[in-house]
Structure 1
Amino acid sequence: MPYVETGEVETYYEHHGEGPPVVFIHGLGWDHRSWRPQLTALEDEYQVVAYDYRGHGETTGSGASVRSISQLAGDLHALVDELGIEQPVLCAHSYGGLIAAEYAIQYPDAVSGIVFADARTAVGETTVERVMFRLQPVFDRAADVVGEARVERVLEFLAKRVGGMEEGPEKEVPELGMTTSEYAEDAGEAFSSEAQETCMDAALAYVGTSPTDFHVPVLYAYGERTGGAIASKAKQLERAPTDVRVEEIVGASHGVMLDRPDVFTETVREFLADVTSEQDVGAPAADG
């Protein structure tokens, strides 16, 4: 299994194909597997990399090692540097958008474009969101008293009623052999409460950005059934003064790349064709 040392942890990654490089960053509590449909579909045209950041998946080290979004961006830079990748397009889901945004700020000349897939560039943009995130430790303690199942039902209710998020289509994702919700549950079993707490602390301490802050092309793709904060941001970005392309993926929820993988992948492929048309071919992929 391929690993790269990033700081004091061993970061797990998958690296396939040849061509212009694309690096995929998963969401909170998920892992590199969330990008399987895109890796499979794009590896004949692009050099694709997916990895597990600290506190997730196969990457070593405890959740306590997560200290800041800047640190997570630094880990990504160490991975990219070790693999000899130059100016990748970053494709980030959910929480991974914070990492992609900070990477582009720290290394502005090392990015060719950014895909925000139902992704954040800031956390706590609304009062409701800030309250929800601050109450997470309370929900964790309540689970010990009344049971996880009951607390999960409350959180699902709040996500739908307060955040406006709906479930996506429950179809099996062939590359995973399970549905989006089954995958999320499976990935979540390896995601500790410690990692959740430290990642959320890092996100809440992060100043945040806007997709309009970058000098490279940006694709902001979001699910039709996603939460209100992301959908509202999309409406604002439609009038962006910079090269920000907004695409709604009909029928998809927050797991946009798994809910409607064919539609999402084709949207990304069109964006990559524009962004990488004049880009030199990157280094060949390593085994893995």
Structure 2
Amino acid sequence: MPIAAVNGQNIYYEDTGGTGPAIIFSHGLFMDHAMFAPQVEALKGRWRCITWDERGHAGTASDTLAPFSYYDSADDLAALLKHLGIERAVLAGMSQGGFLSLRCALTHPQIVRALVLIDTQAGQEDPNALEGHMQLANTWATQGLSDEMAGIIEHIILGEGWAGAPAWKAKWKTIKPVNVLGCMQTLASRDDITPRLGEIKVPALVVHGDADAAISLDLAKTLTAGLPDAQLVVVPGAGHAANLTHPQVVNPAIERFLAGLG
């Protein structure tokens, strides 16, 4: 297993290698590096594609999880790129991966060539929705993930009726309680970086499903408007993980954006 011992973490990652420009993909909450398989398949050979598992997730997870913020995760990303000898990269992040990618652009601007922001936002969680999500997480951590709760999470993340959902529901049932609660606390306690978006000068592509049940399309429009050099692509019928469920729309949009970077 490729493990990078960086920033006090043992980070699992995958790297297609090659001499092309680098793009690093950061996954959403309770997902992992594998959610970007459609993008890696489309880009490898022309781009050096790095995927990784964030704190508390999949190959990076352990039996303990100290409190952390998305700024810590941004530092993890920067340290991983340094470990791989990559000076600059395009940062692509879905939801939580977008939270940390935006913060990396604020705290490590010298390593960021551009941003691809998928079903994410700059603000905080809606308090009403967060209350329900925290209740679900507490039940999950104390009683295990029932089929009913797995179906709720499927709806939130993957949308309705996607054929690949059973494999992800099986993965969710293996997540340890410490990681469920710790990662949810990080999500709940993040700051609002909307006022700082103007500091991010690199080109950005904002991709958002119009059926996203977790983050509304209006929040994607707010994110796009706040970034100095951003464009929005709406994915019809897609839920929260648009890149995974609708790659036939998302991949061409990403490829056009990357081709325009020069």
Contact 2:101 2:115 in 1 (8 A): yes
Q: How does 1:103-122 map to 2 (within 5 A)?
A: 103-122=104-123
Corresponding position of 1:201:
185
**For residues 82 and 153 of structure 2, what CA distance do their matches in structure 1 show?**
40
**For residues 242 and 96 of structure 1, what CA distance do their matches in structure 2 show?**
20
Q: How does 1:78-97 map to 2 (within 5 A)?
A: 78-97=79-98
2:168 is the counterpart of 1:167 = no
Corresponding position of 1:4:
4
**For residues 72 and 238 of structure 1, what CA distance do their matches in structure 2 show?**
23
2:248 is the counterpart of 1:262 = yes
Contact 1:225 1:253 in 2 (8 A): yes
- How far has the Cα of 1:152 moved from its partner? 4.7
- AA aligned opposite 1:149: D
2:43 is the counterpart of 1:42 = yes
Contact 2:121 2:223 in 1 (8 A): no
Secondary structure of 2:238's aligned partner: coil
What TM-score results when the alignment is normalised by the length of structure 1? 0.80
**For residues 6 and 225 of structure 1, what CA distance do their matches in structure 2 show?**
37
Corresponding position of 2:171:
187
Corresponding position of 1:149:
147
Contact 1:5 1:11 in 2 (8 A): yes
What TM-score results when the alignment is normalised by the length of structure 2? 0.87
Corresponding position of 1:281:
none
Q: Which consecutive unaligned segments of at least 5 residues does structure 2 have?
A: none
Offset from partner CA, 1:177-206 (integer Å, 9 cap, x none): xx1x12321331332221121112122222
- AA aligned opposite 2:185: D
Contact 1:96 1:120 in 2 (8 A): no
**For residues 34 and 241 of structure 1, what CA distance do their matches in structure 2 show?**
26
- AA aligned opposite 1:194: V
Contact 2:6 2:83 in 1 (8 A): no
Corresponding position of 2:229:
243
**Judging changes above 3 Å, is the alpha-carbon distance between structure 1 residues 230 and 112 closer, same or farther for their aligned structure 2 residues?**
farther
- How far has the Cα of 1:133 moved from its partner? 3.8
2:210 is the counterpart of 1:218 = no
Contact 1:54 1:66 in 2 (8 A): no
**Judging changes above 3 Å, is the alpha-carbon distance between structure 1 residues 105 and 137 closer, same or farther for their aligned structure 2 residues?**
same
**Judging changes above 3 Å, is the alpha-carbon distance between structure 1 residues 183 and 216 closer, same or farther for their aligned structure 2 residues?**
farther
**For residues 173 and 150 of structure 2, what CA distance do their matches in structure 1 show?**
14
RMSD, aligned CA: 2.6
- How far has the Cα of 1:115 moved from its partner? 1.0
Contact 1:31 1:56 in 2 (8 A): yes
Contact 1:23 1:49 in 2 (8 A): yes
The one of the two structures with greater contact order (alpha-carbon pairs below 8 A, sep at least 6) is: 1
